[in-house]
Structure 1
Amino acid sequence: MKILNTALHDVRTGRFERTLSALTAAGAAVTAGEIYLSHDAASFGNKMMYWPLVVVPTAIPAGAAGFFSRRAARTVLPVASAAIVINGLQGCYLHIRGIKQRPGGFTKYNMESGPPAFAPLLASLVGGMGLLAALLRREDLQLPGDGEDH
């Protein structure tokens, strides 16, 4: 119970940097897998479909590093996260453009059967988690090997 109370106190006081860094890494892994499957199903018809598979996975090592290192959480993680946010916004534009280019243009049918218009924004949310992690204070977790970097 003490662990749960400590965790809730940390969240309430903005001490969530390590946990959110780890969640960013996990979210990036799941999101990259989903992007791969979706874009593979579309046969990578546009070369731009490879970009999120390059950009999103950068948050996996960056988020893991942010969990273990305060410095990485404040430097590497926000850079990777900002790139993911930008790429997600770009993807949303490209998906909407793809829907508009289908026969009939921007119709309900094309919205349902074409590229998912707002799916890239979900990747942007993963990037947003990493940016938020960089702004928060660090939890007082005592992990083996914690040194002056804590």
Structure 2
Amino acid sequence: MGLLSTAVRDVRTGRFERTLAGLTAAGAAVTAGEIFFSHDGASFGNTMMWWPVAVVPTAIPAGIAAVFSPRAARTVLPLASAAIVANGLQGTYLHWRGIAQRPGGITRYNVESGPPPFAPLLASLVGGMGLLAAVLRREGRH
């Protein structure tokens, strides 16, 4: 069997834990960088802006550990991922609140020029990937 057909079979049978854990680590690295630069561009005007900069990168070592350790995939990765999901939901609230506090409230202009309303949900998706990885079966055990 080729590598691609093996990967497809693993996904179909729910054996995708290691791969999804690795993708979670990679996604967290990219997302953490994007969050840092976006919040830095806003001069970290609210101290709450530091939370995702601290929380999202926790999935990087947790995801890498989960690739190599089934135990880490069941313990550390879900904890880091749940924290990221919670922080993303909190960030969504804070971004919408920031938009609403702008002059004129929630208008198309304020949604387009204010804090990105859905960006924190993207971080939550990275956390969701980690939570999903934690409940899947590991590749290579057939």
CA distance, structure 2, for counterparts of residue 95 and residue 59 of structure 1: 22
**What is the 5 A alignment of 1:1-150?**
2-140=2-140
Instruction: Provide Cα deviations, 1:84-140, integer angstroms capped at 9, x if missing partner.
Output: 000000000000000000011111100000000110000000000000000000001
Give the Å deviation of 1:4.
1.0
Instruction: Note the residue ranges of structure 1 that are not aligned, 5 or more in a row.
Output: 142-150
Distance 1:52 1:97 in 2: 17
Structure 2 alignment gaps of length 5 or more: none
Q: What CA distance in whole angstroms lies between the structure 2 residues aligned with 1:40 and 1:103?
A: 23
SS at match of 2:124: helix
Per-residue deviation, 1:67 = 0.2
Letter in 1 for 2:85: V
Cα deviation code 1:38-77 (max 9, x no counterpart):
0011000000000001000000000000000000001000
- AA aligned to 1:70 is P
Whole-Å Cα distance in 2 between the matches of residues 4 and 104 of structure 1?
53
SS of the counterpart of 1:21? helix
Q: What is the SS of the residue equivalent to 1:14?
A: coil
After TM superposition, the runs of 4+ consecutive aligned structure 1 residues lying more than 3 A away are none
TM-score normalised by the chain length of structure 2: 0.98
Q: Equivalent pairs: percent with the same residue?
A: 79
